[in-house]
Structure 1
């Protein structure tokens, strides 16, 4: 999950030149938003051992989707990463469920 957050931060930072040249240009607000969001994602990557981290990761995604106001492609990236985080949360829950006593068979078949 930490690597996913770092990749997400890289993608957000890669939006800087796109917003600067293709979008309406970088304003102080859009620059602060993108750099601040990337910094938050990097900070969160160090907190992934906490049991609540997955929910914080999901909670940050609406802030990235709101980047549609900065440039529509940023919002699309937010939607894609939200889908990825939902998949990660589902897989995490499924692994936890299967590790409950009596559900996992000794031969690993299910």
Structure 2
């Protein structure tokens, strides 16, 4: 994904609660390497945003109906197109779409 000025760009998405963990250390080292090698780095920290990683029927605006199963891909896509996704999902998608994710955190 190139940035506006044609600099290579990377969107780094993380969701780990502990920055001093192995996961956090690998993230920090990788981001440092990317920046040193000339990449524009966009970050999105799902844990810091309070992101809920569990997909539930309500995320797809699915009504509890035993006769119709929750179809994750189909129902969440329909909710996206209808503008009925939960606000945290919509906000995150908008932020990524518009490039408003955390820069150079």
TM-score normalized by the length of structure 1: 0.29
- Greater RCO, 1 or 2 (C-alpha within 8 Å, sep 6+): 2
**Larger strand percent:** 2
TM-score normalized by the length of structure 2: 0.30
